[in-house]
Structure 1
Amino acid sequence: MSAAPTALQQRARTKDLTIETARGLACILLVFYHTVGADKTLGLTVDDGSVLRWVTDSMVFLRMPLFTFLSGFVYAMRPAYSGWGGFMRKKLRRLMVPMFVLGTLYMLVKVVLGDAVNNSYELPLWQWHIVVPIEHFWFLEALLVLFAMIAVIDRFRLAETRRSASAWLVAAVAFSVVVGPFVENVKFFSTMGTVYLLPFFFLGVFARRFDWRGSPAAVQISTGVVAVALIGVSQLGVVGVIPDIQTRYSLSAILLSGIACLALLSTRWSWRPLAFIGKYSYAIFLMHVFGSAGSRILFARIGVENTYVLLVIGMAAALGLPMIVQWLCGYSRVLRLLVLGQSWGGPKKRLRSAGHPA
C-alpha cells in the first residue's frame, strides 16, 4: 500500500500561479531581448547607451538563468527516480523534435530573407543544430543534457539529502567557473550553454526538493537583501562605474543570478496576466523570433520607423503568434508533435498547456 502523498506532493498537483508568473516574466525578458536585439547590429538596431540597451544589458543575469531554474524546479515535481530510458525518450521528443523542425524553418527563412533579418547565415547545412546550435535553440540542447544528468543522479538517489544536494550544487558552480572559460566557444551540442546553465538547473531542482519557500523567513529575507545588493553592484558595472561583473562564467555572475532566482521565488509573486503568458511559455520560447522579426520587417517596409512603436508591435507579435499557433496545434496531432514535441495521443481539439519542457 502506497504512502499518503505529502503536502509538497499535493501542491505539485495543482497549478502554482507563482511559478506560472515567473515563467511569464522569463518570457517577457526573453522576448524583449530578442526584439530589441543583442547588440546594435541586431533587432531594432538600438545604439549602445540608450535606455533600451540598458534594460537588455541589465537583465542578462536573469533571462536564461530564470528559464533554467524553473526547468529544474518543475522537473523536481516529478523526478525520474526510475525508467531513465522512457524519461529520456520523452525529453528527446519534447525538445529535439521542435528544435529540428522550427530551427530548420528559422534558418531557411533567414537564408531566403538575407540581410532583411540583420544577420543572414552562410552556415553549411551539415553544421546546423548539432555542430552549431541555431540561435536561441541552443537552450534546448543544453536542457536535454541537464535532464540526462539529473535523471542519472536521481536514478541512484545521489541527491536525496541537503548535504549531498549542497555538494552537487557547489560542484556545479565550481565546474562552471573553472571549465566555462575554456568552452566558451565550444558550440557542439551547446557545450558552452550546458556548462553555463548547470548551476541554475541544480539550484531549481533542490529549491523544490527541499522546499526553499518553506525555509525560515529570516533566511529568505536575507537572500532578498543580498540579491538587491548584488543587483546594485551589477548596475554599477552596466553603466561603467566599475568593471562589469556579468561575465557569464564568473562566480559573481553565478551568485547574482542564483540568488536573484531564489529571491524571486521567495516573494510568491503572482499576477494573472503574467501567469497567462506563462501557460504558453514553451511555445513562446520556440516561436517568438518569428513574430518579433516578422513584424519588424513588415512594418518597416510600410514606413513605420519609430523604435518604440516597433518594439510594442514586435513584442505583441512575439507573444501572440505562438499562442495562436499553440491553439491551432490543438486541432492536429501532427502539428502537436512537430511544433511542440507533444505526444501523438490525446484529443485533437483540446490541447493541454504547452507549459514548460520540464
Structure 2
Amino acid sequence: MSDSSMRLSAIDSAKGIGILLVVFGHAWRGAWGANLLPNEGLFKLVDYAIYAFHMPLFFFLSGLLFLETLQKYNAEKLLKGRLTRLLWPMMLWSWIFFALKLSAGQAANTPVVLSDFPVIPLPPYEHLWFLWALFLCQTILILLYAVVGARLPATTWRWIAAIAAVIWAALNPLIPVPSDIWGPMFEHFPYFLAGIAVGSLSRIRVPPLLGGLCAIGFVVLLWLVQGEKAAVLHSLAIVLLAWGAWLCVDRRTGSQPVGILLRSLRSLRALGQASMVIYLMHTVFSASLRILMVKFGFDDITLILVATLVVGVVGPVIVGWGAAKLRLSKILGF
C-alpha cells in the first residue's frame, strides 16, 4: 500500500472512531436530558472528556488533505462543492429534524411548535452546527488561496497554518465570539489549520516508541480535563497526540495478516467512510429508540446507552446503503 493510500486509510479509521464518539456523546447527553443519569459529576466527567476531543478531531481530519484540494481545483469548483456537500445537508436535515421533533411532541427532550420552523436554518439547528462551521473554515481558506494562490509554496502554507493554529488557539479564550453563527467556527478553526499544517507529516511512519509516547500524552491530557471545558490549546494538544498515536496503530495493524485487529480496523474505516450519513441521521434513530424504551419501562441506563449507540450507527448505515442503491445519496446530502 502506498504512503498516500495509507494516509487516507488512517483518516478513514480515525473518522470511524470519531463518529462512534459522536453517536455515544449524543446518546449520553440525550440520556441526561431525559433524566436517566442521576449522577451529575459522572455526566460532566464523561461529557467534557468526549467534547474535548471528538469534534476537534473532525475539524483536524478535514484539514489534513485540504491544501492538496486547494492546489488541485479552482475556487469556483470548490465553493460549489461546499454548497452541495455542507450547506445542502445542513438545510435539508434541519427541516427533517424539526419535523420529527414536532411529531414527537412532549416526548422530545426539547419540544417545539410549528412557529419555530427554521425556514433559514441559521444559527445552525442542533448538532448540524459542525457543517456550518466547517463551511466557513473551508470558504475562508478557499478565498484566501484564490487571492494568494501559488505565490507561496506548500511548505510556506503549512508553516503559516501551524503558527496561526497555535496563536489562534492560545488567544481563543481572550476573544469571546458569542454569536451562534460565527462562534463555533472561531473556536474550531485552529484544529482545521493544524490539520493543514501537519498534512504532509501524515505520510511518515510513526515508530512504536513515539506512538506509545503520543498515546500516553493523549491519555494524560484527556484525564486532566476533569469534568471541565477544555481550553482550545489543550484540545489541540490532545488531537495532535491522538493523531500521532493512531498513525502508528493504523499502519502497524493494517500490515498484519487477517485477524481480529485487522477486521476491527477495516470496520472503523468503513464507519469513517459512512461518517456523513451517520452524523446526519444518528440522532433520529438513537433518540427514537430511547423514547420508546423509556415509554415501555426500560430504565437500565447501560442497556439504553448500548442500544441507542448501536441503532444510531447501524440505522444510518442501512439507510445510506439503500440511498446509494436508489441513487439518492446526493439528494439526501450523504
The TM-score bracket by the shorter chain reads 0.7 to 0.9
The CA RMSD over aligned residues, in Å, is 3.0
- CA 1:304–1:195: 2 relative to 1, 3 Å: same
Following the alignment from structure 1 to structure 2, what is the Cα–Cα distance between the partners of residues 43 and 28?
23
- CA 1:180–1:114: 2 relative to 1, 3 Å: farther
**Aligned residue runs from structure 1 range 1-358, under 5 A:** 11-12=4-5, 16-37=8-29, 40-41=32-33, 44-45=36-37, 47-50=39-42, 54-76=45-67, 78-121=69-112, 124-125=116-117, 129-130=121-122, 132-155=123-146, 156-157=149-150, 160-179=153-172, 182-188=175-181, 191-208=182-199, 210-214=200-204, 217=207, 221=209, 225=213, 228-229=216-217, 231-238=219-226, 244=228, 246-249=229-232, 251-268=233-250, 271-333=265-327, 335-340=328-333
For residues 82-117 of structure 1, give each alpha carbon's deviation from its aligned partner in whole angstroms, at most 9, with x where no partner exists: 421111101211111111111111122223324322
Following the alignment from structure 1 to structure 2, what is the Cα–Cα distance between the partners of residues 152 and 158?
14
- CA 1:97–1:277: 2 relative to 1, 3 Å: same
Q: 1:200·1:258 contact (CA, 8 Å) conserved in 2?
A: no
Say which structure is richer in helix.
2
For residues 230-289 of structure 1, give each alpha carbon's deviation from its aligned partner in whole angstroms, at most 9, with x where no partner exists: 6424424416xxxx4x4344x333333333334333433551222222221111111111
What is the match of residue 346 of structure 1?
none
For residues 119-168 of structure 1, give each alpha carbon's deviation from its aligned partner in whole angstroms, at most 9, with x where no partner exists: 224684357522x2111100001111122223234441366343442223
Q: Give TM-score, length-normalised by structure 2.
A: 0.82
What is the match of residue 353 of structure 1?
none
For residues 307-353 of structure 1, give each alpha carbon's deviation from its aligned partner in whole angstroms, at most 9, with x where no partner exists: 111111101110011111111212434x3233125xxxxxxxxxxxx
Offset, 1:186: 0.9
> RCO greater where, 1 or 2, for CA within 8 Å and sep 6 or more?
2
- CA 1:169–1:206: 2 relative to 1, 3 Å: closer
Q: 1:292·1:317 contact (CA, 8 Å) conserved in 2?
A: yes
Following the alignment from structure 1 to structure 2, what is the Cα–Cα distance between the partners of residues 89 and 291?
31
Q: 2:95·2:118 contact (CA, 8 Å) conserved in 1?
A: no
Q: 2:89·2:333 contact (CA, 8 Å) conserved in 1?
A: yes
Which segments of 5 or more consecutive residues in structure 2 lack a partner in the other structure? 255-264
Offset, 1:178: 2.6
- CA 1:36–1:126: 2 relative to 1, 3 Å: closer
SS at the partner of 1:186?
A: coil
Q: 2:7·2:202 contact (CA, 8 Å) conserved in 1?
A: no
Following the alignment from structure 1 to structure 2, what is the Cα–Cα distance between the partners of residues 53 and 65?
18
**24-33 or 65-74, larger mean C-alpha shift:** 65-74
Percent identity over paired residues: 22
For residues 39-77 of structure 1, give each alpha carbon's deviation from its aligned partner in whole angstroms, at most 9, with x where no partner exists: 833585453233x65333322222001111111124345
Following the alignment from structure 1 to structure 2, what is the Cα–Cα distance between the partners of residues 146 and 158?
21
- CA 1:136–1:42: 2 relative to 1, 3 Å: farther
Q: 1:114·1:121 contact (CA, 8 Å) conserved in 2?
A: yes
Question: In structure 1, what residue type is equivalent to 2:126?
Answer: E
Following the alignment from structure 1 to structure 2, what is the Cα–Cα distance between the partners of residues 16 and 170?
25
Which segments of 5 or more consecutive residues in structure 1 lack a partner in the other structure? 1-6, 342-358
Following the alignment from structure 1 to structure 2, what is the Cα–Cα distance between the partners of residues 264 and 43?
35
Offset, 1:26: 0.4
Offset, 1:205: 2.4
Following the alignment from structure 2 to structure 1, what is the Cα–Cα distance between the partners of residues 333 and 222?
36
Q: Give TM-score, length-normalised by structure 1.
A: 0.77
